[in-house]
Amino acid sequence: MALVDYKNEMVLQRTQMVEKQLKSRSITDPIVLHVMELVPRHLFLEEGLGFRAYDDCPMPIGYGQFISQPYMVAYMTQALQLKRTDAVLEIGSGCGYQTAVLALMAKQVLAIEIIPQLREKSLTALTKLGLNNVLLKLGDGRLGWPEMAPFNAILVAAYSETLPKILFDQLAVGGRMIIPLGPENNQKLVMIVKDENGVQRRQILERCRFVPLVNG
């Protein structure tokens, strides 16, 4: 009984998260809103922190890493303008929550995480949810996944001082890439679009705060 109550409470909190943190800000894409309402974010947090999963802030996921604030996940997902047929590369999949959101919107998600324990835990959570269109590799995401390239979208969830050219080269023509660019205390969220005419680069958030994209 207690378990059922907890589950209902989480559903309620998720609905409120969508109303108060997403709809009231700039999230308007109905599919993004729907998916954020569906994915049980609390299952990706450490035991004992689940009850704070729907708070309007990032949360620790262990190993000095953080799950992004729900609004940030929704904002980046919306900006990627995913299609059902898209292949997405995610760098720094951490606890796997953003991976699950992407997996429900795209055809396939190729995710790379550098911390083995996070890879293991996120894989367990993603498998539990039955998301079988995700491949999650342990390794240095700065190298991308050349065998699976090109990608229609690339999402980098850790900041870099410069744009990693290798990742950009793995973007398909018509592809979109989102990456926080540093320095650490002055990070901007940047969107790169590759099309037939070349490359467009624009800032989509003036301020953001991510952990660093580390050397493998």
Closest CA to 160 of 190, 183, 176, 178: 183
* Coarse DSSP helix, strand, coil percentages of the chain, rounded to the nearest 5 percent: 35, 30, 35
Cα 119 from Cα 17, distance rounded (Å): 26
Place of tokens 């998720």: 14
Torsion of CA 111, 113, 118, 119, to 10 degrees: 50
Judged by beta carbon, residue 14 or residue 142, the one nearer ligand SAH is 142
Stretch that binds ligand SAH, among 32-40, 89-97, 129-137, 195-203 (CB under 6 A): 89-97
Closest CA to 18 of 33, 28, 29, 39: 33
Q: Is 95 in the site for ligand SAH (CB under 6 A)?
A: yes
The sheet that has 171-181: what strands, in order across it?
Answer: 134-138, 108-113, 87-91, 151-156, 171-181, 187-195, 198-208
Closest CA to 77 of 111, 147, 28, 116: 28
Stretch that binds ligand SAH, among 13-21, 79-87, 92-100, 165-173 (CB under 6 A): 92-100
Stretch that binds ligand SAH, among 10-18, 109-117, 123-131, 173-181 (CB under 6 A): 109-117
Per-residue x/- track, 131-170, ligand SAH (CB under 6 A): ---------xxx--------------xx------------
Q: Is 65 in the site for ligand SAH (CB under 6 A)?
A: yes
Q: Is 68 in the site for ligand SAH (CB under 6 A)?
A: yes
Closest approach of Cβ 130 to ligand SAH, in Å?
A: 19
Closest approach of Cβ 122 to ligand SAH, in Å?
A: 7
- From the candidates 24, 68, 122, 160, give the one annotated as an active-site residue: 68
Count CB-CB contacts under 10 A for residue 141: 26
> Active-site residue 122, yes or no?
no
Judged by beta carbon, residue 8 or residue 57, the one nearer ligand SAH is 57
- Under the rule (CB under 6 A), what is the footprint of ligand SAH? 61, 65-68, 91-95, 97-98, 112-115, 118, 140-142, 157-158, 211, 213-214, 216
Known catalytic residues? 68
